[in-house]
Amino acid sequence: MLLSKRIIGVINISLLVIILLVSASSCQSKKTAKSSIILGTTTDLYDSGIIDSLIKEFEEKESVKVKVVATDSSDAIKKGQQGDIDVLLLNSDELDPFVDDGYGVDKGAVFRDDYIIIGPASDPAEAKGLKTGEDVLRKIAGAQSAFLSRGDNSDNHNKELEIWFGAGITPDGPWYETTGLDMTETTKMADEKKAYILIDRATYTKLKNKLKLGIILENSDDLINLYSIVRLDPKKYPRVKSTEATRFIDWITSSEARALINEATNG
């Protein structure tokens, strides 16, 4: 009988130890577990490397993980309308209807990026020295000098089409080639073909030391691109992680984040 009591005592102590260990493990998991949000943005912006740099800094400061869904602008907007993401970082003009139609709130400016037109050192179109993107593209089209376009409905492609439209030209002919590739691969191809190309400054900063192509035009008003961020309206999408999204927006629009962006884009 005494032996049975001792066995029961040992079992009870063992159970208590197990309960305490499980409880401690559960508390530790709660302490280390991170909440997460989903950020929708464009492949152009993601491929530039800016997004990863910003997210790394944010995640080191906050207990929030950021998952990125990089796609084209129209698909990112669609995912936002479906409530599949928590925050959107896109061209500012594209977010205005999203907010006006009641999908998003708290729009904030993140940064101003710009595009550059680069081309061969020989400048066969004699476009260097002109003042606007429209003037440069008119010169290129008039000379029928080789020009490469992504042709993929990306931010870059849409900006290029916007400038062609402003110039009153529909580019067509053997001199105008679409690649269907991303910015990096299209730029490498343009470098090999000694062709003109429109490139965002962040990607150019990353690649410039490997390129033979040089700057034909920069710092023109019609080459500017403004990026903003919004979070989904929690009244319309109750499942979104509104608190975490707000923390991310507060940080990415801060002066600290802006300094990182300036460093990345101006290299």
- Our CA angle for 82, 224, 92, nearest 5°, is 25
Pick the CATH number of 114-223 from 1.20.1600.10, 3.40.50.20, 3.40.190.10, 3.40.50.1000: 3.40.190.10
CB burial of 128-149 (b: ≥16 within 10 Å; e: otherwise) equals: eebebbbbbbbbbbeeebbbbb
* Residue with the larger pLDDT of the pair 43 and 177: 177
Of 57-61, 138-142, 214-218, which range is least confident? 57-61
Which residue, among 71, 69, 43, has the nearest Cα to 184 in the 3D structure? 43
Q: Which amino acid is at 189?
A: M
Strand partners, 231: 87, 105
CB burial of 231-246 (b: ≥16 within 10 Å; e: otherwise) equals: bbbbeebeebbbebbb
Residue whose tokens read 């910003």: 54
- Look up the pTM and report it: 0.75
- Domain positions in the chain are 35-113+225-266, 114-223
**Which tokens is 256 given?**
């600290």
Amino acid 6: pLDDT? 52
Of 47-51, 67-71, 77-81, 229-233, which range is least confident? 47-51
Rounded to whole angstroms, the Cα distance separating 136 from 127 reads: 5
267 pLDDT band, cuts 50/70/90, is: low
For 35-113+225-266, CATH gives 3.40.190.10
- Do the domains at 35-113+225-266 and 114-223 have one common CATH topology? yes
From first CA to last CA, the distance across the chain in angstroms is 81
